[in-house]
A and B are shown apart, each in its own frame.
Chain A
């Protein structure tokens, strides 16, 4: 069975009402939609009750028709006022009184039918099919089939643009995070509900806050894995907003979620445990709240010889990669960030004594220099001599001298 709603004007309202009954909705014209209501009898009862329920929900004056095929329902809704229910098999009789212009054939066909004196669906349905085919061709046959209520086509459902946006304009400005959290929770719940209804998740949430007498405030949550947990999103937004609060009271909040397919993984029985990504993301957000945004993640080395060059990227452990194994452990460097400035006394062009705020003493052994330089073609070149030194206190350090400024620095300690 198919239901058709015909009401002038408010197409979004018609679509919203139809979505409450079926995901398969075809938009016929700006004032008419038809949708599939098969299988709804167990929920709403027989077709007359279903039609009354549609009428109750739509809340405005509309023609509603239910029929066994979409075209019969459309013609009935356009032609009969109020609620019309056509029992299966009785389409031809039910549609017979409708005026022929509802068939919406081509102007030539309409003119011929007018010349023949055909005024209603019933008049047209009574004509012999072979004669109609001979005189009006394929179009005539199709129109006569519609006039008899024999249409048997499939619906062409409209596809909603996948935009998951929610917005709320506030009656008065909100200047505290707690009341704003309630508003964000509502928006997140609604967006997540809509995503969940389409079996989707999100990997990016954008929040735009319109402020009172201040530029807009933007926040973007980028997630390493698709998630659909409004509570976790709310906590992340709260942490973000408490660390980077809006500059003025909030007048309007708009939330957009990027729809993606949810994460589906099958873990092996013998694979090492790893943190649950959704939970881990929230934990990392909590840690970032006090360490700062670029201080937590996985380090990625950059393909350059410049010392201490790496970028911090979001931690998202994939499958274990095969790294090189060594028979002996490698000597590690503990890097001072930033390098510690040091005063160095030379003897025979080699460091003999070092003085820095935390490390000072005689240099027992000094090996070097190891000259490195690079990026001389950029604005930020480096050019230095490196020394490995052992102090009288027993520490092993990497010391270097910037050749341009002739200043000495401790880069780190070997450990």
Chain B
């Protein structure tokens, strides 16, 4: 008897996770890197230092998801969501529920729990990239497991936007973002070249894309 079969016998509820589909990011390189897009019914972490293109990637995903008629929720721990940037990226703001927690990470966790448990959202983003480090460290692994199970049950793509990996083993995919170089033209910033690295695959892979200004 294989180890997997033995485990199934001990814990009947243990089953291989069903593939509930993927949400395309609209960026071919990232879709290829993540084997088709961001998984539904799973927790994905997008991390990186400031100005590494994390938010640009998520806005591209938000734009693609809302164009397909998905309802999305953006739980904004620090209140940094910019609706103008999201609209310029192509997101349909009517289909984006924005929860501005104004710097309270605990409220953000409560909100993401309520929205993920409630179901009906195709994508739920927890943005803790600008949250205080001590607040992020206080989030227990049990909370991440709870959120992951809620996402599995409701089929939502739960995405955490952060500076460094926080959910650890609870996440299905970790995309580490790194800025390669900014593009300057004329009087203002024109865009940035970004590298994304997938960390949860057997062998880490990376892909490049460019986020540009209008």
A→B interface (CB under 8 Å): 271-276, 279-280, 283-284, 286-287, 290-292, 295-301, 308, 310, 312, 315-326, 328-337, 365, 367-370, 386, 388, 390, 394-397, 412-415
Most chain A CB inside 10 Å of its own CB: which residue of B81, B91, B129, B155: B81
- Cβ contact within 8 Å between B187 and A415: no
Cα-based distance from A271 to B96 in the complex (angstroms): 17
- Any A CB within 8 A of the CB of B213: yes
Beta-carbon contacts under 8 Å, B68-117 to A: 68-71, 79-102, 104, 107, 110-111, 114-115
Cα-based distance from A326 to B83 in the complex (angstroms): 17
- Cβ contact within 8 Å between B211 and A330: yes
* Shortest Cβ gap from B72 to chain A (Å): 9
- Cβ contact within 8 Å between A367 and B184: yes
- Cβ contact within 8 Å between A301 and B84: yes
- Cβ contact within 8 Å between A317 and B110: no
* Shortest Cβ gap from A169 to chain B (Å): 37
Taking CB atoms, residues of chain A closer than 8 Å to B96 are: 298-299
Most chain A CB inside 10 Å of its own CB: which residue of B98, B121, B186: B98
State which of B60, B68, B118, B187 has its C-beta within 8 Å of the C-beta of A272.
B68
Most chain A CB inside 10 Å of its own CB: which residue of B50, B67, B90, B209: B50
- Cβ contact within 8 Å between B56 and A291: no
- Any A CB within 8 A of the CB of B36: no
State which of B55, B80, B111, B210 has its C-beta within 8 Å of the C-beta of A337.
B80
- Any A CB within 8 A of the CB of B189: yes
- Any A CB within 8 A of the CB of B122: yes
Cα-based distance from A265 to B189 in the complex (angstroms): 47
Interface residues on B, range: 35 or more
Cα-based distance from A299 to B93 in the complex (angstroms): 6
Interface string of B202-214 (1 = CB under 8 A from A): 0000000111111
Given contacts A284-B97, A395-B51, 10 further A-B contacts (CB under 8 A): A275-B119, A280-B118, A291-B100, A296-B111, A329-B57, A330-B56, A337-B79, A365-B182, A388-B188, A413-B50
- Any A CB within 8 A of the CB of B27: yes
Cα-based distance from A348 to B97 in the complex (angstroms): 45
* Shortest Cβ gap from B110 to chain A (Å): 6
Taking CB atoms, residues of chain B closer than 8 Å to A397 are: 51
- Cβ contact within 8 Å between A323 and B91: yes
- Cβ contact within 8 Å between B120 and A321: no
Closest-by-CB residue of A relative to B63 is A323
B→A interface (CB under 8 Å): 26-27, 49-60, 63, 66-71, 79-102, 104, 107, 110-111, 114-115, 118-122, 129-130, 155, 179, 182, 184, 186-189, 191-192, 209-214
> Which DSSP category, helix, strand, loop or mixed, fits chain A's interface?
mixed
- Cβ contact within 8 Å between A283 and B118: yes
* Shortest Cβ gap from A358 to chain B (Å): 9
State which of A320, A331, A386, A412 has its C-beta within 8 Å of the C-beta of B68.
A320
- Cβ contact within 8 Å between A332 and B59: yes
State which of B67, B86, B212 has its C-beta within 8 Å of the C-beta of A331.
B212
- Cβ contact within 8 Å between B101 and A329: no
Given A275-B120, A300-B93, A412-B80, the answer on whether A329 and B209 have CB atoms closer than 8 Å is yes
Cα-based distance from A333 to B114 in the complex (angstroms): 27
- Cβ contact within 8 Å between B192 and A273: no
Closest-by-CB residue of B relative to A359 is B50
- Cβ contact within 8 Å between A275 and B56: no
Cα-based distance from A369 to B186 in the complex (angstroms): 10
14 contacts between A and B (CB under 8 A): A273-B155, A274-B69, A275-B120, A283-B114, A290-B110, A290-B111, A295-B102, A296-B97, A298-B97, A329-B209, A334-B55, A335-B82, A412-B82, A415-B51
Most chain B CB inside 10 Å of its own CB: which residue of A290, A332, A396: A332
* Shortest Cβ gap from B162 to chain A (Å): 12
- Cβ contact within 8 Å between B83 and A291: no
Cα-based distance from A290 to B100 in the complex (angstroms): 11
Taking CB atoms, residues of chain B closer than 8 Å to A296 are: 97-100, 111
Question: Closest 10 CB pairs between A and B?
Answer: A275-B120, A299-B83, A329-B60, A388-B189, A320-B69, A332-B55, A415-B55, A272-B69, A396-B51, A334-B80
Most chain A CB inside 10 Å of its own CB: which residue of B82, B89, B93, B184: B82
Most chain B CB inside 10 Å of its own CB: which residue of A321, A329, A335, A394: A329
State which of A295, A318, A365 has its C-beta within 8 Å of the C-beta of B100.
A295
* Shortest Cβ gap from A210 to chain B (Å): 34
